[in-house]
Amino acid sequence: MTAPIEIRSAPHVQGAKTVETIMRHVVYSLLPICAFYVFQYGISALASLVVVTAACLLTERFFVRTGTQAGRLSDYSAVITGLLLALTLPPGFPLWMGAVAGLVAIALGKALFGGIGFNVFNPALVGRAFVQAAFPTAIATYTPSFLTGRFTEFIPSSLAWPLMIPADAAAWLKVKNLDALAGATPLAKWKFDGVVANAVDLLTSLSGHMAVGPAPLLILLCGAYLALRRFMDWRIPLAIIGSAALTAWLLFAFDPARYPNPFFMLFSGGLILGAVYMATDMATSPVTPKGMWVYGALIGLLTVVIRYYSGLPEGVMYAILIANAASPLIEKITQPVPFGRSVLNRRKRATYPLNPGYISREEAGAVTPKKRFLPKKPKK
């Protein structure tokens, strides 16, 4: 018999999910969000999405080619980083700064650690943190959504030359006869002016004159798609939203004059985007189910605390980065209890011998809460 039968060890079948399919579906789910973002802000937003993603892809290609990092280009993870990064930047962010953000995101956020799976921090947030430190003015400059002419005209700051001071958005807005303050994000408005935006505006991002980011409702919808198809873990977003809402509600109940309502907390700024797409980044979140709850709860808590008590209007980014750093520790203390170990430990404490002979069903059942089946007489 010369047939070259192949031998390998069990299992001989494999599930359908691969890294590529997961990443591809994340990209698919991001597309509607990006489309709506472009609808809100016009060609500037489109250019920003394209440039940042291209910068990420080129950087990834460089590091994969030179063998510095694992993975390959076709795994789509760099596309995700690029799109997410672009969504967190203001639409009129100078394109060259966007490119720098993309480069830093992949180089310092990913390649430095060895590529896909090894990174400790979410690359998109590393990129965003870098540009926030490097270009603080540009990143705080939002333009209102739904400007007329947004599809024919770039926001002037987008096209700023590298290393030049970008055009003054406030002045440009004045020329356009718009209230300059309308360009502030709802969070900044609340933080610095004490104005709380109304719910419908926040949820749908459909109001003009308000610089809200990507639409939270749409993000939740796309996230639900991912969670239902099991391309994302549902625990983390749920934990974040739950813990942020709880913390905000406690403070609101304590002093409604000083603190905005929890609804505003949840749907303003990047909390939803962060909860659904950033914090759920697999490589930087714990693998254990219990760990995911802890991790999510930590992010929710930190976000609210940073928003209230720091000088920054936005807190999600730092909350997630801190939780990323804590994730190995969280994982360590939330290791799953192996099957049969909890019983065993309880037995040990009760100084049972391992094989105590007859254990009644009740006794055996007493160590686990649920008894699922009690046989009935078969019907004759």
Q: Does 58 engage in binding with another protein (CB under 8 A)?
A: no
Residue 257 burial class via C-beta count within 10 angstroms: exposed 0-12, middle 13-18, buried 19 and up: exposed
Q: Which of 12, 149, 177, 351 binds another protein (CB under 8 A)?
A: 12
Give the footprint of another protein on residues 103-122 (CB under 8 A): 114-118
Residue closest to 319 by CA, chosen among 243, 254, 249 = 243
Interface residues for another protein in 166-225 (CB under 8 A)?
A: none
Map the footprint of another protein across residues 149-168, applying CB under 8 A. none
- The single residue among 61, 176, 209, 347 that binds another protein, judged by CB under 8 A, is 347
Nearer Cβ to another protein (80/103): 80
Stretch that binds another protein, among 138-146, 192-200, 244-252, 338-346 (CB under 8 A): 338-346
Interface residue with another protein among 71, 216, 223, 315 (CB under 8 A) is: 71
CA-based torsion, 191, 195, 198, 202: positive or negative: negative
Q: What are phi and psi of 283, to 5 degrees?
A: -65, -25
* 351 near another protein (CB under 8 A): no
Round to whole Å and give the CA distance between 96 and 161: 7
Rounded CA-CA distance 92/287 in Å is 37
Minimum separation from the CB atom of position 329 to another protein (A): 13
Which CB, 164 or 376, lies closer to another protein?
376
Q: How far is the CB of 4 from another protein (least distance, A)?
A: 7
Are 300 and 248 a contacting pair, CB within 8 Å?
no
> Rule CB under 8 A: is residue 67 a binding residue for another protein?
no
Residues 235-254 that bind another protein (CB under 8 A): none
- E-strand ranges in 120-277 read none
Residues 285-324 as x/- pattern, contact with another protein by CB under 8 A = xxxxx--x--------------------------------
Give the one residue of 171, 228, 329, 333 binding another protein; rule: CB under 8 A: 228
C-beta of residue 271 within 8 angstroms of C-beta of residue 309? no
Nearer to another protein, 136 or 336 (CB): 336
Kindly tell me which of 74 and 148 has the beta carbon lying closer to another protein.
74
Q: Does residue 349 bind another protein (CB under 8 A)?
A: no
Lookup result for tokens 């990143």: 139
Report the C-alpha dihedral over residues 191, 49, 300, 226, rounded to 10 degrees: 150
Helices (H), 42-151: 43-65, 77-88, 95-109, 123-134, 136-140
